[in-house]
Amino acid sequence: MNCRQLPGQSISPFPNLRDTPACAKASAGRPTCAKASAGRPTCAKASAGRLSAFAEGESACGGNRETPCEFQPLPAAEIGSLSPERGSLLLIALWSLSLLTIFSIYLAYGVRYKVSLLERLDSRDNLHFIAEAGTKKAIFELMKDEPSQYDSLNEPWGNNENIFKQVKTGYGYFNLIHDYLDSDSGSRKVRYGIVDEERKVNLNKAELEVIRRIIMITAGLEQADAESLAASIIDWRDSDSKLTIPLGSAEDRYYRSLPNPYEAKDAEIEVFDELLLVRGMTEEILEKIKNYITIYSNGRININTAGGEVLMALDLNDELVEKIISFRLGEDTLEATFDDNIFISLSDIISKLGTFSELTPEEVASLSNLISSGKITTSSSNFMARSIAQLDDRQMEAICIFDREGKVLSWREG
């Protein structure tokens, strides 16, 4: 019987330990070593690296000092390298450490993301409030405009850097701007102020020919295409399902045949993006016509504020439109300045224009028809503020439509 051959059991799970001289020698003739091997108290302890004294051997030998075990302490490094349990513990510790590291990184990333998100949301909230302050400023300034029969481009709400440019609020500031076509340079420039919606063609109220002309003039479409698109807009908003023109316009039947079918709205347009659902309308066309159309005005065009494109859409010829624009500019030939001429009421349009520039009988007739048709006016009742909020290096644009009483009709920010 020796340390390797105890019946009914494996002597030791630590083969290297069995081969130590101490164990081999004990197994050769020392029952105490066999006992120790059978119970494995000393081997187990040795394997754990805890057997460091001869007293351990004595314990394994039943305390018989005459037949002492000759176990000798093993070098710590050797014991450590021999211990699967210790290796397992080390492996578990390493795995735990790795998992903790990964978890910590994940946690830190999550916290950082949430902090960043909160900062962005906070910044966006602040930008929203700054932009909103801009629109309130616009409404406040409009309220100061005395009610009158006319509204013109040179009024304080329309062009005033002193009250609409870089207005500080909180840690940021806002600008109230709108762009316009500069007749001298032919390019679009920025003006500080708000614009009236009555200077634009109302797609919910205008007749087919007016819509067709404003599309042709501003988007450059051919007459047939412009008419088709204008008719489709009419069909989109009217309550019936009859085609405005037999070929080219669209009602339910056309929209139902699309890959993603839908129906004509048969009600007034509520948002500009809705126009992209109308047959023939594209983002490119909408971009070109957006400054000349509205869905919020009273439907009549303000002859004091409308641009030449809109006046031509009312079927006034080029020469007559030129005379109206020149009259409005005043002596300095600049738009929206102190010396601008103004049509106070509908009744003085022909007389004032005739005094400023000679009118042909055809032009007088054209103006008379336009006035009696109810398509034009000299005042405005709905306005648009484009508020640009700035906070540090971040910016937000808000577009607010409101009436003269300050009631907000539309709010859009992006």
* Interface contacts to Ca ion, rule CB under 5 A: 235, 238, 264, 266, 329-330, 332, 334, 337, 339-340
| Minimal distance, residue 365 CB to Ca ion, in Å | 29
With CA atoms as reference, report the closest residue to 301 among 315, 285, 287: 315
With contact defined as beta carbons under 8 Å apart, do 13 and 30 qualify? no
Residue placing its CB nearer to Ca ion in the complex, 331 or 405: 331
| Minimal distance, residue 240 CB to Ca ion, in Å | 5
Residue placing its CB nearer to Ca ion in the complex, 169 or 302: 302
| Minimal distance, residue 206 CB to Ca ion, in Å | 16
| Minimal distance, residue 121 CB to Ca ion, in Å | 42
Residue placing its CB nearer to Ca ion in the complex, 139 or 321: 321
| Minimal distance, residue 357 CB to Ca ion, in Å | 16
Residue placing its CB nearer to Ca ion in the complex, 101 or 183: 183
With CA atoms as reference, report the closest residue to 140 among 414, 410, 413, 400: 400
Residue placing its CB nearer to Ca ion in the complex, 6 or 211: 211
**Residue 393 identity (one-letter amino acid):** D
| Minimal distance, residue 309 CB to Ca ion, in Å | 20
Residue placing its CB nearer to Ca ion in the complex, 70 or 235: 235
| Minimal distance, residue 253 CB to Ca ion, in Å | 11
With contact defined as beta carbons under 8 Å apart, do 361 and 367 qualify? no
Residue placing its CB nearer to Ca ion in the complex, 236 or 296: 236
